[in-house]
């Protein structure tokens, strides 16, 4: 290599390194938050998540699903009719004696609220919890005008005193323990008595804030829902402070995003059923207040507490509803971000997210919003740069999809935003190099590391064709260091070992069942074909034992790898190619059976976004997860004694996150139990590996932290450990130093 070549290579590596999107600052921040806030966030979010499951069980999944379906219909309709509903709200609030102001952006909203406050000669303002006022930095705006602002929601009050930002959209101080809050309050307020219990803290806050509410000139609330036909606002709280803020001061300002409007009280019911159950796992919220401000009751005179009606001050009541746009109109016109506006801000997507459970909203969040849906909100109201700060923390595990009460496809929003972030980068020298090497459909500028992981199929093809040499080279320390430096692949992770003989090669020319019951295509996904062909072989043997003729065609990847990196154009190409290749088999009457759950989830969920409707539906109808198919065969009369029986053997089983979102965990358990295995299942949402996520240097500790929850459940077991996903088996083997196999290998003859 000449000196010039060496110089160019060094420059390339250095640029690649800086473009590899693995700033050490991110790694340090995540490490710090795991240590400082992780335990508390974990305890609280998991508690909410577990309670959510329990409350849904109480009313039954079917009823819960009916509410979700209806709630989504209502939001979709309301966003569609938004201009008309805004006009209706203007009229109804005016009829009630109030004023509606549409604020174009945050500055406009702040200015209006400041003018209203100054018009009321206000000195003190009290607020109830409102994410929209966080979004527009209302407190800072009013403080700059000399106003004294007090948060009256206990969680917000804690955050205000601590001068921190919220870590969760429902529980802003969720990252703080009771002991930390005691220390904070005692240092700040120097109370006469110790605040060393939750009750003492609550009583202190109630008295302290009560005095401020009594003396307030303006009360500011949010609005969970705005009812267009009556001009009423619905406030959902657990503390009742919002009602006080709305009704004690003479002037009430409600600040809400324009998307909070629903047509009438008729449409409120499903949300009333869903919101607390989804948020904190309560059957109903402590307070659901319906106000049609300005309220009728006379303003309170606290100087005459003994007189009827507290003296009945005759001060005029004033009400302003500030509807904030701040990017929402553009979101409404954006086919991919539009669903974000259906969000009712319950936080279930955060509580059900394994990464969020470990690290919380100070890492998994932007300027204002936290958790899964935060990417959509931050991209919409702040811009892509704000979303880029944390977008990669979504692994696409999809556990939030079933948790969301309005069925927002949160992983898709995260993927679309990731794609847009990729496209916003300037092309570099390495793009020229990569463009010649990889067959993807991305534009120059997509970060090198994303293209590496997104083109894993090409890497696997080359790795397999040159195995075992490729595996030996990849394990050399200088190579691992170079991969870490250039691509941010953590040296502590064992790399996948490629197999020289692929599943397709093994199956080529293999005799199959004569006169079969059914004809099957076993889809050789990238991991099964190149890395774990043994589970593919086991699937073939199992299906043949149950009377199926099995074909393993030489077809391409599902597109999961590029999609996970936000490379939508490449994923769409792969989806189209696979649909065309499998189309011939569908024409021949074959069913498609898939071993890797993340590949099946592509076909069942993401292909709906990537393919024409008829193509998607045909493939979706004909595709099955391997145990789902085996279960169906057994239910339809296939003989279980053709498979390997368990004879009471203990099995510890972890199903893949995307498999559970598709509702397919139960088939594996049912088949194993029918065959005589004693099955213990894990209840963690995700293994934490999630494809490439666990390999990335800045996320290694987070990935391990998430995985340890799974490892803890199986740690002391003498059962055989099985897991459905490649990532899951890799993570379990790394953390437990025990073999973890796909369950099909247990039951195959």
Binding site residues, ligand SF4, CB under 6 A:
278, 343-349, 372-373, 403-406, 408, 410
CA distance 418 to 394: 10
Find the shortest distance in angstroms from Cβ 439 to ligand SF4. Answer: 35
Find the shortest distance in angstroms from Cβ 651 to ligand SF4. Answer: 33
Find the shortest distance in angstroms from Cβ 108 to ligand SF4. Answer: 25
Find the shortest distance in angstroms from Cβ 341 to ligand SF4. Answer: 10
Quick one: 406 or 483, whose CB is closer to ligand SF4?
406
Quick one: 373 or 748, whose CB is closer to ligand SF4?
373
Find the shortest distance in angstroms from Cβ 413 to ligand SF4. Answer: 9
**Three-state secondary-structure class, residue 426:** coil
* 262 HSE (CA, 13 A, CB side): 24
Find the shortest distance in angstroms from Cβ 514 to ligand SF4. Answer: 52
Quick one: 410 or 675, whose CB is closer to ligand SF4?
410
CA distance 437 to 430: 11
CA distance 138 to 255: 10
Quick one: 371 or 694, whose CB is closer to ligand SF4?
371
Quick one: 141 or 285, whose CB is closer to ligand SF4?
285
Whether the link from the prior residue into 294 is cis, omega within 30° of 0, is yes
Quick one: 372 or 691, whose CB is closer to ligand SF4?
372
Find the shortest distance in angstroms from Cβ 221 to ligand SF4. Answer: 19
CB atoms within 10 A of CB 614: 8
CB 349 within 8 A of CB 393: no
Quick one: 343 or 521, whose CB is closer to ligand SF4?
343
Quick one: 274 or 669, whose CB is closer to ligand SF4?
274
Please name every residue paired with 489 in a beta bridge, in sequence order, or none if there are none: 696
**613, burial (CB in 10 Å: exposed 0-12, middle 13-18, buried 19+):** exposed
CB 142 within 8 A of CB 218: no
Find the shortest distance in angstroms from Cβ 170 to ligand SF4. Answer: 8
* 610 HSE (CA, 13 A, CB side): 31
Find the shortest distance in angstroms from Cβ 377 to ligand SF4. Answer: 9
As separate numbers, helices (DSSP H) first and strands (DSSP E) second, the chain gives 39, 17
Quick one: 114 or 348, whose CB is closer to ligand SF4?
348
CB 705 within 8 A of CB 688: yes
Q: DSSP letters of 476-535?
A: SHHHHHHHHHHH-B-TTSPPPPPPSS-HHHHHTT----SS-SEEEEEE--HIIIII-HHH
Please name every residue paired with 523 in a beta bridge, in sequence order, or none if there are none: 594
Enclosing H/E stretch for 581? helix 568-587
Those residues whose C-beta lies under 8 Å from the C-beta of residue 182, and which sit 6 or more positions away, are 194, 195, 196, 201
Quick one: 262 or 300, whose CB is closer to ligand SF4?
262
CA distance 676 to 648: 5
| CA distance to 72, 259, 374, 400, per residue, from 340 (Å) | 12, 10, 9, 14
Quick one: 349 or 638, whose CB is closer to ligand SF4?
349
Please name every residue paired with 227 in a beta bridge, in sequence order, or none if there are none: 232, 262
Find the shortest distance in angstroms from Cβ 271 to ligand SF4. Answer: 10
* 199 HSE (CA, 13 A, CB side): 0
Structure tokens at 364: 């998994």
Quick one: 351 or 682, whose CB is closer to ligand SF4?
351
Find the shortest distance in angstroms from Cβ 400 to ligand SF4. Answer: 6
Find the shortest distance in angstroms from Cβ 640 to ligand SF4. Answer: 40
| CA distance to 602, 605, 626, per residue, from 662 (Å) | 11, 9, 13
Place of tokens 């324009």: 258
Find the shortest distance in angstroms from Cβ 342 to ligand SF4. Answer: 7
Quick one: 253 or 403, whose CB is closer to ligand SF4?
403
Handedness of CA 251, 256, 262, 268 (dihedral sign): negative
Those residues whose C-beta lies under 8 Å from the C-beta of residue 255, and which sit 6 or more positions away, are 109, 113, 130, 132, 133, 136, 138, 220, 221, 222, 223, 322, 324
* 480 HSE (CA, 13 A, CB side): 14
Quick one: 414 or 720, whose CB is closer to ligand SF4?
414
CA distance 66 to 212: 43
Find the shortest distance in angstroms from Cβ 235 to ligand SF4. Answer: 17
Find the shortest distance in angstroms from Cβ 424 to ligand SF4. Answer: 24
Quick one: 364 or 452, whose CB is closer to ligand SF4?
364
């Amino acid at each position: 290599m000449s000196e010039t070549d060496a110089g160019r290579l060094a420059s390339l590596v250095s640029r690649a390194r800086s473009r590899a999107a693995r700033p050490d600052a991110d790694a340090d921040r995540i490490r710090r938050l795991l240590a400082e806030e992780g335990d508390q966030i974990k305890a609280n979010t998991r508690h909410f998540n577990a309670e959510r499951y329990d409350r849904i069980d109480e009313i039954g999944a079917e009823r819960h699903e009916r509410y979700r379906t209806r709630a989504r219909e209502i939001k979709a309709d309301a966003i569609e009719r938004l201009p008309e509903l805004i006009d209706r709200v203007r009229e109804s609030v005016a009829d009630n004696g109030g004023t509606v102001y549409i604020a174009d952006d945050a500055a406009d909203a702040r200015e209006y609220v400041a003018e209203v406050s100054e018009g009321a000669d206000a000195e003190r303002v009290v607020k109830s919890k409102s994410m929209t006022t966080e979004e527009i930095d209302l407190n800072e705006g009013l403080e700059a005008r000399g106003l004294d602002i007090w948060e009256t929601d206990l969680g917000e009050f804690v955050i205000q005193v601590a001068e921190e930002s919220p870590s969760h959209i429902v529980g802003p101080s969720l990252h703080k323990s009771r002991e930390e809050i005691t220390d904070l309050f005692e240092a700040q307020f120097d109370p006469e008595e110790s605040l060393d219990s939750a009750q003492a803290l609550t009583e202190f806050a109630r008295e302290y804030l009560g005095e401020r509410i009594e003396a307030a000139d303006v009360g500011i609330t949010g609005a969970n829902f705005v009812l267009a036909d009556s001009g009423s606002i619905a406030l959902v709280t657990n503390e009742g402070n919002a009602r006080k803020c709305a009704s004690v001061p003479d002037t009430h300002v409600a600040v809400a995003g324009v998307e909070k409007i629903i047509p009438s009280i008729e449409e409120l019911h499903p949300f009333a059923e869903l919101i607390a159950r989804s948020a904190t796992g309560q059957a109903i919220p402590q307070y659901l207040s319906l106000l049609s401000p300005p309220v009728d009751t006379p303003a309170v005179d606290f100087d005459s507490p003994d007189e009827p009606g507290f003296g009945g001050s005759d001060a005029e009541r004033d009400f302003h509803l500030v509807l904030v746009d701040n990017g929402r109109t553009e979101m409404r016109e954006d086919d991919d971000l539009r669903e974000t506006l259906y969000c009712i801000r319950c936080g279930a997507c955060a509580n059900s997210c394994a990464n969020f459970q470990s690290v919380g909203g100070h890492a998994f969040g932007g300027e204002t919003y936290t958790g899964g849906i935060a990417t959509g909100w931050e991209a919409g109201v702040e811009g892509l740069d704000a979303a880029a700060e944390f977008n990669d923390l979504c692994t696409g595990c999809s556990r939030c999809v079933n948790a969301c009460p309005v069925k927002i496809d949160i992983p898709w929003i995260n993927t679309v935003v990731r794609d847009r972030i990729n496209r916003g980068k300037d092309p570099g020298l390495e793009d020229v190099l990569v463009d010649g090497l990889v067959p993807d459909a991305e534009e120059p500028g997509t970060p090198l590391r994303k293209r590496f992981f997104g083109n894993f199929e090409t890497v696997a093809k080359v790795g397999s064709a040159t195995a075992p040499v490729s595996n030996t080279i990849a394990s050399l320390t200088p190579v691992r260091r170079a991969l870490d430096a250039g691509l941010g692949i953590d040296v502590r992770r064992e790399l996948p070992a490629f197999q020289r003989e692929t599943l397709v090669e093994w199956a080529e020319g293999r005799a199959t069942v004569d006169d079969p019951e059914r004809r099957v295509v076993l889809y050789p996904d990238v991991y099964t074909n190149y890395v774990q062909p043994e589970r593919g072989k086991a699937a073939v043997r199992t299906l043949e034992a149950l009377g199926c003729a099995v074909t393993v065609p030489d077809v391409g990847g599902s597109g999961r790898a590029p999609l996970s990196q936000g490379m939508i154009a490449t994923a769409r190409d792969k989806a189209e190619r696979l649909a065309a290749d499998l189309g011939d088999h569908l024409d021949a009457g074959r069913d498609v059976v898939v071993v890797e759950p993340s590949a099946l989830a592509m076909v069942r969920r993401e292909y709906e976004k990537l393919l024409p409707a008829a193509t998607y539906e045909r493939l979706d109808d004909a595709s099955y997860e391997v145990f789902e198919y085996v279960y169906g065969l057994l239910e339809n009369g296939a003989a279980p004694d053709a498979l390997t029986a368990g004879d009471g053997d203990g099995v510890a089983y972890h199903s893949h996150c995307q498999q559970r979102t598709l509702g397919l965990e139960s088939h594996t358990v049912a088949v194993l139990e029918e065959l005589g295995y004693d099955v213990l299942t894990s209840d963690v949402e995700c293994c934490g590996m999630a494809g490439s996520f666990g390999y990335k240097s800045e996320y290694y500790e987070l990935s391990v932290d998430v995985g340890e929850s799974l490892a803890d459940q199986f740690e002391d077991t003498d059962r055989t450990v099985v897991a459905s996903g490649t990532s899951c088996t890799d993570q379990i083997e790394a953390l437990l130093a025990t073999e973890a196999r796909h369950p099909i290998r247990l039951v195959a003859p």
